[in-house]
Structure 1
């Protein structure tokens, strides 16, 4: 039995006339007759009565008609689903993100994507940059939003945006009264930094910024997430240098001040496996709101 047999059967069941059914199917009448005979042989039952009065469905044909239509409908649904998956209209996107993106429009981005792609399931998980890199390599994520473009050869990336670094101080700190903080003013302060293990590149960059301005940070505590760093600062346990996004985090007890020196910026990159399917990823990146 072939799907064309089912289509031929349904056309004849509706028209009840070989000539009209053949015309509707854009074939000649003899191939239609042969196809119906082949279908009846395959089913093992006579589906049509044919006599001088015309063509009629047999009881077996009537019973077969609903099931045949269901098979055709399911086949068409399967084809439509395959096309939608290929075009990225249906699927599942596993997205990793660093905490700073929550304060740089990630929620609006997710809402815009879900509005334009309602049949795509987006699973989001907050991970530091190194954990995202590991998850991408392990095929546990489809796309990561990370703070580094220093990636293993198997991964690709594109820049999304950058923002300045700010000094982060406890609210009662003597330097908090200044409008701008000189980096040298932090040289003798206990520092709270992002974990070296969680993001080796980011940790090294901040240490290098300090080194270039005459000192090494006196590391007191480390946090695996930037929000943990800011929270530790808010509790008076030290100072830090953090991306400007956390100015919008609303952590009570922490204040943020621009740095006097012009520093390199904090950047966020999209990262993915080079050998992964790209339609869902490209669709997601395409709807990112402008900042």
Structure 2
């Protein structure tokens, strides 16, 4: 029995006339008769009565019609489901993220993806970088946003964001009165920082930044998430070096100041596992890559416009501190 037999049977069951049924199926009458005979032989029952008065369904045929209708409907639903899954239009997508991504455009990216693919169910999990790498390797996440591009096989990473580090201080700290700080100003201060295990890349990066200024940070408290860092600082538990995006967290009691004299930047990478096949994940990664390309093009255009306002051959770089950095040419 083939699906073709079922389609022919249902058309004949509606028309109850071999000629009309054959025309609907765009075949001649003999092949239709042959297919019906093959179906009846396969089923082991007579499905139609044929006599001089016409064609009628038998009792077995009437019962078979209900099952055949349901079976063809299920087959069509299965076909559509497979095509939509292959296109990445339906399914489930599990995305991990570090807390700072809430202020780095992740909500906007997720809304855009959900608008483009309403059939995808999104599931978000906040984890530190190492936890996300482990989750990807164990197939517990489909995509992740982490602070390092150094990932093991079979993971793949692409950079999606880079920004300056800033100093996070208690709002009543004496250094908060200054518009800009150097890392050396934090010598002797108690630091709040990630543990090395939670984020080896950031731990080493901040240590190296301080070492370049002639000191090592005195770590008083270790946490696992950026918002925990800012929260402890806001309670007067120490100072921290954090990505500039966290200045948009709006946490009361914390002040953020630009850091002069360092070119080290905070980076975020989108990471995913190259196997197994996951069309929805591939669509998500492609959208992230397109947004990065668009942002870079906009940034290059802004840089070109600033250069067109060069004054006396010199650049004056200012910080407009409203939660983000602005580089202005005078």
Please give the range of the TM-score, normalised by the shorter of the 2 chains.
over 0.9
Is this contact kept in 1: 2:143–2:271, CA < 8 A? yes
Aligned to 1:235: 235
What does 1:117-136 align with in structure 2 at a 5 Å threshold?
A: 117-136=117-136
Is this contact kept in 1: 2:209–2:262, CA < 8 A? no
Aligned to 2:210: 210
Is this contact kept in 2: 1:146–1:270, CA < 8 A? yes
Aligned to 2:267: 267
Aligned to 1:3: 3
Is this contact kept in 2: 1:18–1:32, CA < 8 A? yes
Is this contact kept in 1: 2:46–2:58, CA < 8 A? yes
1:219-277 deviation per Cα after TM superposition (whole angstroms, max 9, x unaligned):
11111001111111111111110011111111111100001123221111111112232
Is this contact kept in 2: 1:162–1:268, CA < 8 A? yes
TM-score (ref. length: structure 1): 0.95
1:102-158 deviation per Cα after TM superposition (whole angstroms, max 9, x unaligned):
112222222222222122111110000001011111111111110100111221111
Aligned to 2:175: 175
Shift of 1:60: 2.8
Aligned to 1:78: 78
Instruction: Specify the SS of the correspondent of 2:188.
Output: coil
Name the CA distance, whole Å, in 2 between partners of 1:141 and 1:61. 50
Greater RCO (Cα-Cα under 8 Å, separation 6 or more): 1
87-96 or 275-284, which moves further after superposition? Answer: 275-284
Q: Is 1:250–2:253 an aligned residue pair?
A: no
Is this contact kept in 2: 1:209–1:263, CA < 8 A? no
Aligned to 1:105: 105
Cα 1:61–1:278 shift into 2, 3 Å:
closer
Aligned to 2:163: 163
158-167 or 56-65, which moves further after superposition? Answer: 56-65
Instruction: Specify the SS of the correspondent of 1:259.
Output: strand
1:71-105 deviation per Cα after TM superposition (whole angstroms, max 9, x unaligned):
10110000100010011011111111000001122
Is this contact kept in 2: 1:142–1:281, CA < 8 A? yes
Name the CA distance, whole Å, in 2 between partners of 1:81 and 1:100. 36
Name the CA distance, whole Å, in 1 between partners of 2:285 and 2:272. 12
Q: Which runs of 5+ in 1 are unaligned?
A: none
Instruction: Specify the SS of the correspondent of 2:62.
Output: helix
Shift of 1:278: 4.2
Name the CA distance, whole Å, in 2 between partners of 1:105 and 1:268. 11
Aligned to 1:114: 114
Q: Which runs of 5+ in 2 are unaligned?
A: 296-330
Shift of 1:62: 2.5
1:146-173 deviation per Cα after TM superposition (whole angstroms, max 9, x unaligned):
0100111221111111121110001111
Shift of 1:21: 2.0
1:269-289 deviation per Cα after TM superposition (whole angstroms, max 9, x unaligned):
111112232421222234446
Aligned to 2:305: none
Name the CA distance, whole Å, in 2 between partners of 1:151 and 1:227. 24
Name the CA distance, whole Å, in 2 between partners of 1:42 and 1:22. 21
Aligned to 1:148: 148
TM-score (ref. length: structure 2): 0.84
Aligned to 1:49: 49
